[in-house]
Amino acid sequence: MSEYLHSVSLDRSKCTGCTTCLKRCPTEAIRIRHNSASIIHERCIDCGECIKVCPHHAKVALTDPIDVIKGFKYAIALPAPTLYAQFQGVHKPEPIIAALLRLGFDDVFEVARAAEIVSYAISKALREQDRPKPVISSACPAVLRLIQIHFPALLDNVIDFISPMEAAAKIAKEEYARKHGVDIAEVGAFFISPCAAKMTAVKSPIGQQKSYVDGVIAIKDVYKDMRAAMHKGFDPVEIERASTVGIKWAVPGGEADALGIKSSLCVDGIENVKNVLEQIENARIRNLMYFEGLACVNGCLGGPLTVENSFVAKNRLRSVMSRTEQKSVQRTKIFETACETLRMTEEIEPNNSMQLEGTMKERIAMSERINEIEKSLPGLDCGSCGSPTCRALAWDIAHGFANELNCIFKMNARINALAAEMVTLGTSTRFNTLQDSARLREMRQELRADDDTV
């Protein structure tokens, strides 16, 4: 976990340092310094909030270009169910699957199909005794990272199964290699993604040594070409198809619904998820079996790499589902083996980047300093200093990342005080003049020095 690779990053040439993203970051991972945002990588959970709110499109998600599939002899597309809701006038998956094949993929494996298998495995695992309740879904990678940072006490509650995307890559590659008698190393699986955090989840996986996915391609990057491919009409597609059980994972509450759990709670929107996890941590929600937290409003349909408005997409997906098989039609053998093979192999470690360092004594001393500094700040949480809250600025000052005069109120007070002093000096007697001009020089230097550190 020492090395982080992040999908969410900054295009410095577009950033104006406007602070819009600053206050929306759920892990206080953004600072504005020298008129530009910067991301504290240890804290970023790739939720994509900053991408969604940035008025200058300076926050971007790094994903793979479509050419990535050329690195493998055989390429399989793994469309997220969200993809089925992106195209106006398209109310079934067939043309979409056909369009993917036209883009150069050799095969398509619906992530929704894997979601059905994962649903089965999870619902069986939920019957195991001594699991701390509520069991928390592992599907949303941004929420997983949020738990690592903010709610480490809840890590034991997270279900120890890999996500449908991972399961799809694993099963798709195995099936393809077996069916066509080729070496599995020559088969690449590529996720067609609504989500920036999935890219990070592939590069720095949680709960697995290595991801089964070989590339993550943004929906918005293939949208145009797929649209064009669809206009050309299509031949019938012969692949094993997903039912609504898997497709509805794209909609909030769909996962719990697929698991058939009555006592479940689904929350979408990262701030909402944070609030409810807080309640769960305080044991304020009783008799809850399953918690599904989704970083984006409207779940994966609201992902930062989508094209369609998420509410419109939700409606369209409902229409897609009404034309799809309602029950899973897959072989039960995959389902049974999945209960073991799709388990996570690694522990999910807490992320301590929002904790103080050192011995308990040092941490207490540092905390005391931060509290003191915070009390001296105005408490308006205006963000003008470049830190999201006064408390965050206090932390930054105590760690030497900022100074008190980053606060515009402090700066203002300081300028007023210096101005008043200058007036006094200006009206002073000739007797003091020599001494005073020395003081004036000093003050000028002081101001300049402050300016340098800012």
Partner 1 sequence: MIIKETYPVAADDMSVAGDVSASIKRQMKRLGIPNQIMRRVSVCTYEAEINLVIHSDGGEIDFAISEDEICVHVRDVGPGIPDLDKAMTEGFSTATSEVRNMGFGAGMGLPNMKRNADGFAITSEVGKGTDIVMTFNI
**Where along the sequence are the contacts to partner 1 (CB under 8 A)?**
150, 152-153, 278, 281-284, 352, 354-356, 360-361, 363-365, 367-368, 370-371
Q: Which is nearer to partner 1, 130 or 452 (CB)?
A: 130
User: Locate tokens 């340092």: which residue?
Assistant: 17
Reported as half-sphere exposure (CB side, CA atoms, 13 A), residue 380 has a value of 9
C-beta separation of 120 from 341 below 8 A: no
* Shortest spacing between CB 386 and partner 1, in angstroms: 20
Using the minimum distance from each CB to partner 1, give the nearer residue, 35 or 352.
Answer: 352
CB of 283 to partner 1, least distance (A): 7
Tell the smallest beta-carbon distance from residue 351 to partner 1 (Å): 12
Please report how close the Cβ of residue 352 comes to partner 1 at its closest, in angstroms: 7
Residues 161, 166, 172, 178, Cα dihedral to 10°:
-70
Three-state secondary structure readout of 352-363: CCCCCCCCHHHH
Task: Specify the residue, 131 or 414, whose C-beta has the smaller distance to partner 1.
Answer: 131
Name which of 43 and 150 has its Cβ closer to partner 1. Answer: 150
Q: Which is nearer to partner 1, 284 or 333 (CB)?
A: 284
Q: Cβ of residue 281: shortest distance to partner 1, in angstroms?
A: 7
Nearer to partner 1, 13 or 282 (CB): 282
CB of 290 to partner 1, least distance (A): 20
What is the amino acid identity at position 11?
A: D
Cα–Cα distance between 90 and 72 in angstroms, integer? 30
The one-letter amino acid at 294: L
